[in-house]
Amino acid sequence: MAENPDNRRAHFELGANLERLGDRPEAIRVLRALVKIDTGNAVAMNYLGYMLVEEGKELEFAGQILDNALKLDPENGAYLDSKGWWHYRMGNFTAARGILEKAASLMPKDPTILEHLATVLDRLGDAPAARVAWDRLNRLDSKQPETRSKPVDQNR
């Protein structure tokens, strides 16, 4: 980045690596600057939006940039998952379900999507559908079935 401060790929990698190292505030700062100058970078928008949703911060802004990412790539299962999880965090459980079901149909073996879907189904009281999603998740992640057999719902 010192040699080429305008290198958008380097900015993205810096933000992603900062997040992986646990420095989410700095990762958010870096990615926020990137999406401001690179308005066509759906990957960065989704990464930033999902981090904000996970942190429970700036949820209106997170929803906007996730919408922007989906405008650029409306059939991306990861982006749909982020938007579905955003709806969950906003308390829009029915909307979350529809979006997460679509994400799961596009990426049926993604453990994060299945966990989000199962959590939403539990929250909606659809125990049979939730059990199916939890079972699908446990089959994918058989190394830790106990940790994924029951939702951790922070919004209850």
Task: Give domain limits for the chain.
Answer: 1-74, 93-156
Measured CA to CA, the distance from residue 78 to residue 112 in angstroms comes to 9
- The reported pLDDT for the residue numbered 2 is 65
Share of the chain above pLDDT 70, in %: 87
CATH number (1.10.1060.10, 3.40.50.80, 1.25.40.10, 3.40.250.10) of 1-74 reads 1.25.40.10
Share of the chain above pLDDT 90, in %: 82
Please compute the mean of the pLDDT values over residues 89-114 and round it to a whole number.
97
Q: pLDDT category, 142, cuts 50, 70, 90?
A: low
Phi then psi for residue 2, to 5 deg, are: -65, -35
Q: State the burial class of residue 97 (Cβ atoms within 10 Å of its Cβ: 0-12, 13-18, 19+).
A: buried
Please compute the mean of the pLDDT values over residues 84-106 and round it to a whole number.
98
Q: How many residues does the chain have?
A: 156
Alpha helix stretches (DSSP H) within the chain: 8-20, 24-37, 42-55, 59-72, 77-90, 93-106, 111-124, 127-140
Q: pLDDT category, 153, cuts 50, 70, 90?
A: very low
- The reported pLDDT for the residue numbered 6 is 77
Range 3-27 burial, b when 16+ CB lie within 10 A, else e: eeeeeeeebbebbbebbeeeebeeb
Measured CA to CA, the distance from residue 67 to residue 42 in angstroms comes to 10
